[in-house]
Amino acid sequence: MAEFTPPRSFASNNLLDSNRSCSPSGQLRKECSSAEVSEKAAIALISRLATTLTLNSGYRMPAIGYGTYSNSDSPSVMGEAVYKAVQVGYRHFDCAEAYKNEAAIGMGLERSFRDGLVERSELFITSKVWQTNHDPEHVVAACRNTLSNLKLTHVDLYLIHWPLAWEYTNVDCEPLVPKDNDGNVIMSTSGCSLQDTWRAMEKLVDEGLVKSIGVSNFSSTQLADLVSYARIKPAVNQIECHPYLPQNNCRKFCAMNEISVVSYAPLGRPGNLHEGDPKMMEDETIARIATEKEISPAQVLLQWQIEKGLAAIPKSTSQVHMEENLLIQNVLDTNDINSLDALTTRHRFCNKKWCYGCLVFDD
């Protein structure tokens, strides 16, 4: 399939619009003052402001966010990491009720507000509703529970985590994956459809609990169905996307329908590899480009995301890597991007046997 490269959708003007921007004028002035005395602060500021996506809802979203999924770090570690990430300069945080760490993250956010590091209006915070909470009444309860845990009055973006409805357990999603005696996931028998779930998502916008709504892990076919009945169009489709899984067709559909793409696992989940997973950051082509441009393999991969008009949510608890991931410098040329697009390795790092014992994705 031919590579699809959409037109740039980054917002580089009107950055002081306090109604829509996640970085209001007061904070921007503070950052500019810091940039005057620190080259590092200047690079960070330029990098962040130059890579901001405008959603179809009118709100702006920083293209480089901080991912909070971890199956190895404790909730308290992630809460501290979020506080550290705010200090470093992240303003976009990707959360989910299924990650089981929103309460700790809420404490980290509250601490950052209390210490004067940032104001709520300067942050873009995403969360997601889990598969056991797809029934309309459970969508509302799940969202309110997330807001309570995060200690917020609203989230900026709320997503349907997966296009699957499972048996309801409880508001805390325990167990996270309901299974029968044979170990198969118990699918919902309530009759709830994705359209029912989406109608509940739209009501969250109406009630002011969320600013924008979207989906995650949806195919182009599922998106086409959703767009056909949506009163509020999905602002985002969060999918796994990187040079090993470029998602050309899905990205093309999203661009045609003004749906922004947020890429998870943009670095190939180097801290969460399973048997058979390739080490994408050690790919010879990626390593060569990193050496030639004097940047890290992670920065090569993140600039690929930016060049494709995507947002990305890398995760690291290391401050060095946090800073590195945020400093996206425009150093890759057309040949570099073409070399990344020409990679033939294809691999999906996240695929679960969640459909009656079968994998979610066919590829």
Per residue in 250-278, pLDDT (tens digit) is 999 999 999 999 999 999 999 888 889 99
Q: Is the pLDDT of residue 295 over 50?
A: yes
Q: What pLDDT was estimated at residue 242? A: 98
Q: Is residue 145 part of a domain?
A: yes
d(CA 27, CA 140): 32
List the one residue out of 151, 147, 148, 161 whose CA is nearest residue 209: 147
Q: Is residue 4 part of a domain?
A: no
Q: Is residue 363 part of a domain?
A: no
d(CA 278, CA 350): 13
Domain count, the chain: 1
Please count the CA atoms within 13 angstroms of the CA of 230 that sit on its side-chain side.
21
Output the CA–CA distances (angstroms, integers) from residue 363 to 69, 249, 291, in the order listed: 23, 13, 32
Q: Is residue 253 part of a domain?
A: yes
The percent helix, strand, coil of the chain (3-state, each to 5) is 40, 15, 45
Q: What pLDDT was estimated at residue 49? A: 53
Q: Is the pLDDT of residue 54 over 50?
A: yes
How are beta strands 60-62 and 52-54 bridged, if at all?
antiparallel
| pLDDT tens track for 14-41 | 222 333 444 433 444 455 555 555 555 5
Q: Is the pLDDT of residue 165 over 70?
A: yes
Q: Is residue 5 part of a domain?
A: no
Q: What pLDDT was estimated at residue 126? A: 98
Q: Is residue 224 part of a domain?
A: yes
CB-count exposure of residue 160 (10 Å: 0-12, 13-18, 19+): buried
Residue of 90, 99, 168, 264 marked catalytic: 99
d(CA 53, CA 271): 27
Q: Is residue 352 part of a domain?
A: no
The CA-based angle 339-343-349, given to 5 degrees, is: 130
| pLDDT tens track for 328-352 | 878 999 999 999 999 999 999 998 8
Position 47, amino acid:
S
pLDDT category of residue 63 using cuts at 50, 70 and 90 = very high
What number is the average pLDDT over the span 202-206?
98
What number is the average pLDDT over the span 129-140?
97
Q: Is residue 105 part of a domain?
A: yes
Residue span of the structural domain in which 203 resides? 25-341
158 catalytically annotated: no
Q: What pLDDT was estimated at residue 77? A: 92
- The CATH code of the domain that includes 61 is 3.20.20.100
